[in-house]
Copies of this chain bind each other. A is one copy, B any other.
Amino acid sequence: MLRAAAWIARCVGRGDTAPLRPSDLDVLAGYLDLRELAAGAVLFAAGQRSDGVWILRRGGVELAVGAGRRRAVIGVLRPGDVDGDIPLLLDIPPPYTARTVTDSTLLFLQAASFERLLAERPTVTRRWLSSVAQRQAASQLRLAGLLGRPLIEQTAVLLRDEAQDGAVALSQQILAAMLGVRRPSLNKVLKDFERRGLIELSYRAITIHDPGALARLAGVRA
């Protein structure tokens, strides 16, 4: 668990401005709980009290609101990402449901432990502040990438932002829900990108061949 805590220390927030001490890691390690979840498991559900903080170690988790036609994906967690803390901080139920999209390994921190951690460890609080700030910056960039842009640009932005090691391991279903468009519309754009040699489509995955051209399509803006 100490290894897991050290790993969290590398992933959560920015280390240079807010370093953690070995004693912080000891305390954190004592609170952590390792959980393996199969694809499709629900970490927490929209409108229902969240009972702790989740840190994704392996796999993928989608954050979605609505269902059926109205389903929208607010975000997708990647290894190193944290979620479930904000509802605890604000004492509100989470507005979205978090569900694994593949078999995943997570670290879980109970609500009470999280509160004690923040109350007793100011360096952890400081570090957590930078973690939440990072997420806020990412949300704002996401908004900027969506507002008033044609689907081709939105798609280019999304692929650039979600790529991990030159690939996006998500179904077109989920990608479409992240843009708030229908799957056929997205598929049309993706096939066009593929014809132009920018990407390659496969089952539940997209390989990026020409990141430069995608960035150009995404527009000058960050």
- A100-123 vs B, Cβ < 8 Å mask (1 yes, 0 no): 000000000000000000110010
Q: Looking at chain A, what size class is its interface with the partner chain?
A: 35 or more
Give complex CA distance A181, B148 in Å: 6
Q: Evaluate contact between B132 and A91: CB separation under 8 angstroms.
A: no
Chain multiplicity (copies) = 2
The answer to whether A177 has its CB under 8 Å from any CB of chain B is yes
The answer to whether A74 has its CB under 8 Å from any CB of chain B is yes
- Inside 8 A of A70's CB, which chain B residues have their CB? 148-149, 219, 221
- Inside 8 A of A132's CB, which chain B residues have their CB? 129, 132-133, 136
Enumerate chain A interface residues (CB-CB to B < 8 A): 14, 17, 65-66, 70-75, 85-87, 89-92, 95-96, 118-119, 122, 125-126, 128-130, 132-137, 139-144, 146-149, 177-181, 219, 221-222
